[in-house]
């Protein structure tokens, strides 16, 4: 039986998440809207949808279907559906809850704590607020 060489195993490269926090997405065409909604769906924070009637809905986008996006509103309970045809623009208004939380960032922080003599170092989640 031959030994497995980990350097020869297939490795999928990672990717860096686009930093969208604070970005206002301009919707000039159907293609722009779809591209923005795709980014909003992958975003790990709240998005504000500006509707053509002048109202706004802010929340976390959890689903998109043919011609419809669904989100959990920041204020209130339940779920809201917004038709693509009603969307005038998007803004990435909420904090990106996963920004800067890469494995490398955690290891760097861990090593800094260890080097300073800190004991019982544990991985603890940061507050989302």
pLDDT digits (tens, 9 = 90+) for 7-48: 665 555 554 567 788 778 888 888 999 899 988 988 888 999
**Average pLDDT score, the chain:** 81
pTM of the model: 0.64
- Residue count of the chain, please give it: 129
* Residue 45 contacts residue 94 (beta carbons within 8 Å): yes
Domain membership flag for residue 54: yes
* Residue 7 contacts residue 31 (beta carbons within 8 Å): no
The domain of 46 spans 24-91
Domain membership flag for residue 109: no
Q: Specify the number of domains making up the chain.
A: 1
Domain membership flag for residue 80: yes
Is residue 55 predicted with pLDDT exceeding 60? Answer: yes
Q: In this structure, what CATH number is given to the domain that contains residue 81?
A: 2.30.30.100
């Amino acid at each position: 039986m031959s030994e497995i060489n980990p350097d020869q195993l297939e490795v999928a490269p990672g990717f860096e998440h686009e930093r969208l926090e604070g970005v206002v997405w301009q919707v000039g065409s159907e293609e722009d809207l779809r591209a923005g909604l795709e980014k909003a769906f992958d975003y790990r924070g709240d998005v504000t949808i500006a509707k053509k009637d002048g109202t706004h809905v802010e929340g976390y986008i959890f689903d998109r279907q043919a011609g419809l996006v669904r989100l959990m509103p920041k204020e209130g309970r339940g779920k809201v559906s917004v038709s693509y045809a009603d969307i005038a623009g998007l803004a990435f208004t909420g904090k990106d809850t996963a920004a800067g939380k890469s494995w490398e960032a955690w290891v760097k922080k861990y090593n800094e704590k260890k080097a300073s003599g800190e004991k019982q170092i544990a991985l603890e989640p940061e507050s989302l607020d």
